[in-house]
Structure 1
Amino acid sequence: MTTGEARPHPLVDGIDGDEIVSRSDREVVALTPLRADLLVAAHAARRRVRLVTPATSRLTDPLRDALVSAGGSWVVEDGAGAAWDGLLGLATDGTGVAPSFLRPVEAEALQLVVTASLRHRAEAATRIGAALELVAGLGRGGPTGWGPHEPVEFPWDPAAVTRHLAARAPEESRVVVAGSSMIGSTLVQRTDKGVEEVLQALVALGPVGASSTDAALEQVPARLRMLAEDALPLFASVFARPGRADLTTAPHLQAPPVPVAVLIGAPGVRDLALDVPQLVDRFGALVVGRPRIPGVVVPFGGADGGWAALERFIDVVGRERVRAVLRGMPAPGRTEV
């Protein structure tokens, strides 16, 4: 693949059908400006990126998210002839799950996997970033820097983030946010209802089983309730899993996440016709937002039966209604990096 001036992209190592092959032997592969440019150029050329690395490499979460969102893949080679999908574990020779993938990732820390969607008013006073500060505060500190790529180049400043994103409106735009114990991204787009912010973050709470980690985990429902203070929350979910303390993704089996809590904003409560007092009584739900048009935060208890509690909640609400509402949640195209 070449640029408009017929120069080959420096990260292209070959073309295989509709895939652009890009190799890296770095220990940590990040969403650098060049790699982000490759994803954008591949999308414009209607091609997908196949990132090829040795088994010793790991991906940062912004790169993993951008690669998956752009329809790309991560192929891992062990140097002995075996190769597999670094995220799914499937061997490239079609023989099923690669044995090397099944080596579990060392559980150094309890990670929170956070996704949230919020709606802001399209006005000068709107500030982007408060939601990520709330989420990151569950770890050892809040965001320390931001930028369009990795490594982040600017000190954390929600006003600067807001100005950067507003300058690119009405096109959707995303920035990477990093801290001492978190990594994530915020994507913003204009709609006919205002400004919608979608954030994704990984937060390292601390060592698995530590009392301080358990105490931070218990604060998740209260933090989700605080999201309603400066914006209209649409939906948020928090899952917990053991993983690496540096929050990178290794090409090995990741422990499955366990649901901790979900937030369903006022639009979802209305569309699902939820009985808020019933949810408070049966699940200990927290009421958020305005009393007349409330949202709810439903805690599931994390490791102590999180999946069982989530199943009970879905049974009460109705599976088809939950699917219908989730299908209608904002899902901006994730090709802008």
Structure 2
Amino acid sequence: MVVLNDRPVVPLSPAISQALAECERTDRTFQLVTPATSRLTLPLRASKAQWLVHDDGYYEGLTGRPMHWNGTAFVPLPEARDYAPTYTTPPADPIGSQLVLTFQVRHAPEGVLGAHTEKLMRLITGDPPKGWGTTEPLQHRWAPEDLTAHISSTATSRVITIGASSRPAMATSDFSPLVSPAAGMAEMTTLTIGYTDDEDPPITQLPSFIDLVSADHPLTALLAQLIPGRPDLTTEPRWTGSSAPIGLASAGAYTGPPGFSRKRLGPPDAPITWFHLGDGYSPEYWQRHQDLLTHLRRTP
């Protein structure tokens, strides 16, 4: 399915959400075509939409790979040997950074959903979330009880949460029932906070934030990274730089591996171990992340 949209900022609107759902039901690819002057919102970028950019030809907005129309769909240009020229053109506005926290939680059947997102937003931005919904603009004022009731009563598992602070903050959360015989809900959330080029994200404070969030209901895991990008959290079809890891938190009291700085977090009966990986500005530390994952998978 091909959809053309020439808005300056393209959101995950109800129409696009319905088209994505139809493509998933019918095993098709959703291809969104915009001009090079358009930007995507964070929820649309995180969806399964394939972004095509029209600018003296076509290219993928997130990869820069040149594309062409073959009569049925947009496919890679066979003779292309480089990125599309517009993709490698520097953005017009200064690029800041986006602090990205991806975490997992296991909720009991009677648990209230959204509490971890609310606590992290309060700690990092100073304010609770403003609203939640399934498409943009968001439809509901923030109320974890209402969000919990929605997830319990509908097949829609993904929700979007937006912050109330002047600092841009947005989360996308996926919920799914735990596999039997376990009861309850599994949550996977990605929280993104925007910073300008002259601001420093609170990298050194992350362990204390995770400790506070896990006091009542510990996280299962959390990955923190820093991504170069627009402070308003929208995405241009241009290269802005590589992401870099900050740290990984994993449920359990780990003593290894050697060479990794560790910190014990969470309550004594449900400990979490924070592993420091990098400064958030050095992409080469992703290898440390891989080495750590390999160790954790082998550890009982």
Into which bin does the TM-score normalised by the smaller protein fall? 0.7 to 0.9
2:256 is aligned with 1:256: no
Q: Which amino acid aligns with 1:128?
A: L
Instruction: Name the counterpart of 1:49.
Output: 30
Instruction: Work out the CA distance in 2 between the residues paired with 1:303 and 1:107.
Output: 18
Tell me, which stretches of 5 or more residues in structure 1 are unaligned?
A: 1-19, 326-337
Q: Tell me the distance in 2 between the aligned counterparts of 1:314 and 1:173.
A: 29
Distance change in 2, residues 1:252/1:44 (3 Å)? same
**In structure 2, what residue type is equivalent to 1:177?**
T
Match for 1:296 among 263, 273, 279? 273
Shift of 1:229: 2.5
Note closer, same or farther for the CA distance 1:304–1:178 as it changes in structure 2 (3 Å cut). closer
Partner-residue secondary structure (3-state), 1:26:
coil
Alignment RMSD = 2.5
Secondary structure in 2 matching 1:249? coil
User: Closer, same or farther in 2 for the Cα pair 1:49/1:218, shift >3 Å?
Assistant: same
Equivalent residue number for residue 131 of structure 1: 116
Supply the AA of the counterpart residue of 1:199: T
Report the 3-state secondary structure (helix = DSSP H, G, I; strand = E; otherwise coil) of the residue aligned with 2:174: strand
Q: Which amino acid aligns with 1:298?
A: F
Instruction: Pick the structure with more helix per residue.
Output: 1
Equivalents in 2 of 1:197, 1:103: separation in Å?
Answer: 38
**Alignment CA distance shift 1:190-1:177 (3 Å):** same
Alignment of 1:1-337 (within 5 A): 20-67=1-48, 72-78=49-55, 81-92=56-67, 93-94=77-78, 95=80, 96-105=82-91, 106-123=93-110, 126-137=111-122, 138-139=124-125, 141-168=127-154, 171=155, 173-179=157-163, 180=165, 181-191=168-178, 192=180, 193=182, 194-204=184-194, 206-210=195-199, 213-214=200-201, 216-266=202-252, 274-275=254-255, 283-291=260-268, 294-303=271-280, 307-308=284-285, 311-312=287-288, 315=291, 317=292, 320-322=294-296
- In the other structure, the counterpart of 1:8 is none
TM-superposition CA deviations, 1:268-322 (whole Å, max 9, x none):
x6xxxx426x77xx544221344355321122342465744x645654x4x6445
Is the 8 Å Cα contact of residues 102 and 223 (structure 2) preserved in structure 1? yes
Question: TM-score by structure 1 length?
Answer: 0.75
CA–CA distance in structure 2, aligned partners of residues 38 and 324 of structure 1: 42
Q: Find the aligned partners of 1:120 and 1:244 in 2 and give their Cα distance.
A: 33
Offset at residue 97 of structure 1 (A)? 1.2
> Number of residues paired by the alignment?
280
Alpha-carbon distance change, 311 to 66 in structure 1, aligned in 2, over 3 angstroms: closer
Question: Distance between the aligned counterparts of 2:39 and 2:289, measured in 1?
Answer: 36
Normalised TM-score (structure 2):
0.83
